[in-house]
Amino acid sequence: MSGAKRVRAAPAAGSRWLLDHTRAISATLDQLARRPFGTLLTALVIGITLALPAGLYAVLGGLDAASSGLKGSLRVSLFLKDTVDEAAGRQLHATIARKPGIGEAKYISRDAALAEFKAHSGFGEALDMLSDNPLPATIVATPDAALPKAQAEALLDALTRLPEVDSARLDREWLERLYAILAVIERLILLIAGALALAVLVVVANTIRLDIASRREEILVLKLIGASDAFIRRPFLYTGLWYGLSGALLACLMVFGAGLALAGPAQTLSGLYGIGTGAGTLGVDTVFAVFGAGAALGWLAALWTVSRHLGAIEPR
Amino acid sequence: MSEALIRFSQVSYRYRDGGREILRDADFTLGHGEMAFLTGPSGAGKSTVLKLIALLERPVSGEITVDGQTLSALRPRAVPAYRRQFGMIFQNFALLPDRSVFDNVAMPLIIRGHSGDDIGRRVRAALDAVGLRGRERDWPVTLSGGEQQRVGIARAVVARPRLLIADEPTGNLDPAMAAEIMQLFGRFNEVGVSVLVATHALGLIRRLPHRILSLQDGQLVDDHGDAGSVS
Ligand SMILES: Nc1ncnc2c1ncn2[C@@H]1O[C@H](COP(=O)(O)OP(=O)(O)O)[C@@H](O)[C@H]1O
Ligand SMILES: [Mg+2]
């Protein structure tokens, strides 16, 4: 009396799988659409929870982009040996200026350096007493703004090892500091995202738990007429997935909207500093990450809840 | 073929939370294609016997076989597939109020993964068989008790099981409707379906030509009408 023997129209495994899933998908979407307010409320809570790390991440991306506009501040001062005369110094400057990856190079002759020092240091009279000009000739080189940070640093390092160079100073401390701060912020956002992911799990799990409780009778009847555990579980897993995905959609809309609202002031800011734009825009990878996180969290939360609560509903 | 459809061998059962023994070394068989009423006073254990068959409970001792399957050997994972082999009918109908008549009857086919066309045909045939042709779009609450129980029976037969198990199917119905429902079971039995109906409505079934089993003192005995007591 096995079911397969009796029921001749039992379908093949592949189409059976497809049929089961399309039925679960349309049934769950139908259920959610039948109580749009509750669905929207849950999606909104998830959306806000996902929007926070996504928005922070977008801001971070903007800062990162902006900081690349600050590469101009990465520069090296090359102090030339006294044995290098003015003609050789200018020759070296021309060579450096033509190097690929160098944005700008400036030659400061010994005389120009002394004149500048006199003008700015307030030691003008005292310096007159020196018979010799103690200041070296200097070449100040700045890498091309388009050059990645690591390459720019390598290029400047190479310059400091030129034979004509006596000593050199790299001006990159505050840029390093900026990168360090960005790294800390990124770590912080990860921590916040982790905590908020937990919040999404709890929100979805609780919603699914209430859903299971309200459909207790249906689950009992389904078990009585021989529905498999997978069949009973499936709609709840899809419901979790829909909550996660709709929350992700709302989160992206929120971040996108916030980006639009901030676009004007951000433009002004970047204009003031003469640095890159793009602060607060939502990258494609962030959108994918938000949807992926939403889907995974919703599904996992549903799986967790279902495995905790469905077993307890047994017909007696 | 001599193997019975349902066989109880020396089955004993008591609920875990104590109380008396509801079955004590009970034996009984239901043959293929047979229809029987299971009677006994309220609280005798009729529902418990059906629960043992449906694997909602497992016996304390003894062996139950259904269509050659030894129930004690069935693992929990195999229970849903086992339950899909028969149709169950309940006193309270157990319909889902937020689904149409059609969707209620279609449920056993949906859990078996039948295609939409197939479901449409089978559900209409089942509703036709219980006299509810054209009521697919109705909601359970808009139906009378007798009609709701017909929906319950349509759901039980829609996947064409060989065995129907009914627990007080007429308990919530007036006598006229109850008689109609019992006749309906008789008609399914005529086309080869085995039927086991638990009921305490002795007056209703005495006139019917089916076997009557009585549950007394933990034993299942054939009642030939001489006991005659209507509880
Ligand atoms: N889940 C249960 N737990 C404990 N005792 C139960 C349970 N269900 C029924 N009983 C007891 O078992 C006995 C038989 O119940 P039941 O099978 O429902 O009888 P019937 O269907 O013949 O009226 C009754 O005394 C009842 O109180
Ligand atoms: Mg009972």
ipTM: 0.91
Q: Assess if residue B118 is contained within a domain.
A: yes
pLDDT score for B203: 86
Residue B225 — very low, low, confident or very high, per pLDDT cuts 50/70/90?
A: low
In a domain? residue B112: yes
Question: So what's the pLDDT on residue B48?
Answer: 95
B173 and B147 together in one domain: no
Residue with tokens 């060989």: B162
Checking if the pLDDT of A146 tops 60, the result is: yes
Which residue, chain included where needed, has tokens 């990465």? Answer: A74
| Mutation choice for A interface testing from B51, B112, B114, B141 by most A CBs within 10 A | B112
Q: Whose CA is nearest to atom 26 of ligand 1?
A: B43
Residue with tokens 């900081």: A67
The tokens 């449920």 sit on which residue? Answer: B107
Q: Are residues B2 and B59 in the same domain?
A: yes
Q: Which residue of A has its CA nearest to B95?
A: A221
Question: Do B160 and A19 count as a contact with CB atoms less than 8 A apart?
Answer: no
Q: Which amino acid is at A268?
A: T
Q: How far is B108 from chain A (nearest CA, A)?
A: 7
Are residue B152 and residue B192 in the same domain, yes or no?
Answer: no
Query: Which chain A residue lies closest to B69 (C-alpha atoms)?
Result: A1
The confidence band for B204, taking pLDDT boundaries of 50, 70 and 90, is confident
Residue A245: pLDDT over 50:
yes
SS3 content of chain B, % helix, strand, coil (to 5): 35, 25, 40
Residue B46 sits in the same domain as residue B105: no
Q: How confident is the model at residue A275 (pLDDT cuts 50, 70, 90)?
A: low
Q: Which fold has domain A75-171?
A: Alpha-Beta Plaits (3.30.70)
- B-chain residues within 8 Å CB-CB of A9? 114-115, 118
Query: How many angstroms from the chain centroid is the CA of residue A315?
Result: 49
Whether residue B170 sits in one domain with residue B59: yes
Does residue B87 lie within any of the structural domains? no
Atom of ligand 1 nearest to the CA of B49: 17
**Helix A36-68 with A173-214: angle, nearest 10 deg:** 170
Minimum CA–CA partner of B54 in chain A:
A224
User: Residue A7 is nearest to which of B80, B94, B160, comparing CB atoms?
Assistant: B160
- Residue B48 Cβ contacting ligand 1 at under 6 Å: yes
Q: How far apart are CA B169 and CA B35, in angstroms?
A: 15
B47 lines ligand 1 (CB under 6 A): yes
Of residues B105 and A146, more confidence is placed in B105
Last residue of a domain, one of B145, B161, B177: B161
The residue-averaged pLDDT of A105-134 equals 79
H or E stretch covering A80: strand A75-80
Q: Which of B161, B178, B194 is the last residue of a domain?
A: B161
Residue B83 falls within a domain, yes or no? Answer: no
**B45 CA from centroid of ligand 1 (Å):** 6
- Give the Cα separation of A110 and A315 in Å (integer): 96
Encode pLDDT of A17-38 as tens digits: 999 999 999 999 999 999 999 9
Quickly list H helices, A162-311: 173-214, 216-224, 229-273, 284-309
Task: Return d(Cα B30, Cα B212) in angstroms, integer.
Answer: 11
Q: Do A3 and B113 touch (CB under 8 A)?
A: no
Interface A–B counts its CB contacts (< 8 A) at: 77
pLDDT at A279 over 70: no
pLDDT tens for residues A191-239?
999 999 999 999 999 999 999 999 999 999 999 999 999 999 999 999 9
Query: In terms of residues, how long is chain B?
Result: 231
Residues 6+ apart with CB under 8 A from B32: B1, B4, B5, B162, B194
- Give the residue with greater pLDDT, B224 vs A44: A44
Q: Which of B51, B56, B96 sits opposite A218 (nearest CB)?
A: B96
Predicted local distance difference test score (pLDDT) of residue B228 = 43
| Chain B residues near residue A221 by CB distance under 8 angstroms | 94, 96, 107
Residue A63: per-residue pLDDT: 74
State the average pLDDT for chain A.
84
Share of chain B above pLDDT 70, in %: 96
Would you call B96 and A217 a contact, using CB atoms and an 8 Å cutoff?
yes
Task: Tell the residue number behind the tokens 């309906």, with chain if given.
Answer: B184
Could you tell me which chain B residue has the CA closest to the CA of A31?
Answer: B98
The tokens of A87 are what? Answer: 């003609």
Q: Give the model's pLDDT for residue A9.
A: 53
- Test site for ligand 1: of B48, B90, B213, most ligand atoms within 8 A of the Cβ: B48
Backbone angles phi, psi at B16, to 5 degrees: -55, -40
Rounded-to-integer distance, Cα B173 and Cα B144, Å: 9
* A225, A229, A231: best to mutate for the B interface, most B CBs within 10 A: A225
More confident residue, B195 or A78: B195
The whole-number average pLDDT for the span B157-161 is 95
CA dihedral (B72, B73, B75, B78) positive or negative: negative
What's the domain range around B42? 1-67+162-224
- Nearest-atom number in ligand 1 for the CA of A316 is 1
Spatial distance between the Cα atoms of B195 and B166, rounded to a whole number of angstroms: 8
B82 within domain boundaries: no
CB of B200 closer than 6 A to ligand 1? no
DSSP letter at B142? Answer: G
Token couple for A85: 């005369």
Looking at the 3D structure of chain B, how many domains does it have? 2
B156 and B193 belong to one structural domain: no
User: Hey, where are the domains in chain A?
Assistant: 22-69+177-312, 75-171
Place of tokens 């397969």: A4
By Cβ distance, the residue of A7, A220, A229 closest to B159 is A7
